[in-house]
Structure 1
Amino acid sequence: MSQPQHLRDDYRHFQPITTRWHDNDVYGHVNNVTYYSFFDSAVNTYLIEVGGLDIHNGNVVGFVVSSSCDYFASIAFPDAIEVGLRVGKLGNSSVQYELAVFKAGEDEACAAGRFVHVFVDRSNNRPVSIPEVLRAALMRLLIEPAA
């Protein structure tokens, strides 16, 4: 079964990531669980820098409630990578991110995944509407629904 291609042009934002020596596993490539760290870092960097999310003192925090990743090609330290980011679905209190890991300068992804954040009130962990400034930043990443 062939995997769908995930191409650089399909993503709205890119976050450079530096692979680290300890990301490699005994097989000589970046371990599968590390990709989730790349995804988390790319999304949270965007939310902080573009969406104004205050991770230390803000009233709203995002909880990951679902995640997945498909792997197409290996990466290894010291590869320079970029994580492509887009928003597939944007709800009242939740967002589904779609991400892809690219070797710097390459058009086809080495891995692609998704995860869902539910935004909650920090004091009681109950879902809340995504704040407008954050919503505006997420709207910039929203892909058009398939026709």
Structure 2
Amino acid sequence: MTRREPTKRELYPHFLQLQTRWMDNDVYGHVNNVIYYSYFDTVVNEYLISSGVLDISGGEVIGLVAHTECDYFAPLSFPQKVDAGLRVERLGGSSVTYEIGLFDPGSDEAVAVGSFVHVYVDRETRRSTGLPAPLREALERLTTGGTG
């Protein structure tokens, strides 16, 4: 297993600021690891919805999560804010791998870096389908190193 290094803020073309909640903290006084995955899901879907390429209730194509992972470098805790940076790590024919960096506001180095893979499927059949052109275009705006 290869552990990622903390990434820099400049690598992410899209950001969403999130607010930690009291219930996010665990008994050790920091945000529980499972909550980071909620932050990942939030920034990915906020970007897709605000870009007009995800219709959560009626779209013909939906993304299903196939894989997630996270490396943690420093703790987060309530009541701090979190800047969630988003970029596309890999863009395939029917899937996308997002990379998310979580940052303390004002800090250049990520406190956590994760991956989130969506496989796009037909809503009704749940069979893999190619990325519609508008979705691909929105995802390409987040690509920092090609479609590798």
**Fold-level similarity (TM above 0.5):** yes
Q: Deviations over 1:46-87 (max 9, x none)?
A: 011114210111111100001100000001011111111000
Q: TM-score, normalised by structure 1?
A: 0.94
1-structure distance, mates of 2:138, 2:31: 30
Match of 1:54 in 2: 55
2-structure distance, mates of 1:21, 1:97: 27
Match of 1:107 in 2: 108
Shift of 1:41: 0.4
Q: Is the 8 A contact 1:65 1:116 kept in 2?
A: yes
Q: Is the 8 A contact 2:4 2:113 kept in 1?
A: no
Aligned partner letter, 2:23: H
Match of 1:24 in 2: 25
Match of 1:78 in 2: 79
Q: Which runs of 5+ in 1 are unaligned?
A: none
Q: SS state of the match for residue 4, structure 1?
A: coil
How many residues in Structure 1 have an aligned counterpart in Structure 2? 145
Match of 2:118 in 1: 117
Q: SS state of the match for residue 43, structure 1?
A: helix
Shift of 1:10: 1.1
Pair 1:80–1:54, CA change in 2 (3 A):
same
Pair 1:16–1:128, CA change in 2 (3 A):
same
Q: Is the 8 A contact 1:84 1:101 kept in 2?
A: yes
Aligned partner letter, 1:43: V
- Aligned: 1:68 with 2:69: yes
Aligned partner letter, 1:46: Y
Q: TM-score, normalised by structure 2?
A: 0.94
Q: Is the 8 A contact 2:6 2:111 kept in 1?
A: no
Q: SS state of the match for residue 137, structure 1?
A: helix
Shift of 1:18: 1.1
Identity across matched positions, percent: 52
Q: Is the 8 A contact 1:51 1:138 kept in 2?
A: no
Q: Is the 8 A contact 2:19 2:80 kept in 1?
A: yes
Q: Deviations over 1:84-142 (max 9, x none)?
A: 10001101100000111001111111100001100000001001111111111100001
Pair 1:95–1:3, CA change in 2 (3 A):
closer
2-structure distance, mates of 1:56, 1:86: 25
